[in-house]
Amino acid sequence: MLKFSISFVDGSYQEFEESDSIFVKLKTLQKSGLEGKELVHELLTDDWGAPPVIVKLTGVLEDATVVDENIRYN
């Protein structure tokens, strides 16, 4: 499982876990040229109360790959 940690512009914070497959989706979206706001919308959602400042994805995949991604929402 991978952990998302999201900091929002209003100072709030949210964490949740997703399966390893989300990492494959992230890499596919990045290869297609998405980044920032558009990447976050496609990967997770665009239905935020206060928008995020940064989305962090951390953890270790089943194959022992260490994941430490930071996506700025700009």
Residue-wise pLDDT tens for the chain (74 aa)?
Answer: 999 999 999 999 999 999 999 999 999 999 999 999 999 999 999 888 899 999 999 999 999 999 999 999 98
| 65: containing domain | 2-72
Count of domains observed in the chain: 1
Report the distance separating Cα 72 and Cα 3, nearest Å: 16
What is the model's pLDDT at position 46?
80
Sequence-distant (≥ 6) Cβ neighbours of residue 71 within 8 angstroms? 35, 36, 39, 40, 43, 54, 55, 56, 57
Report the distance separating Cα 36 and Cα 20, nearest Å: 21
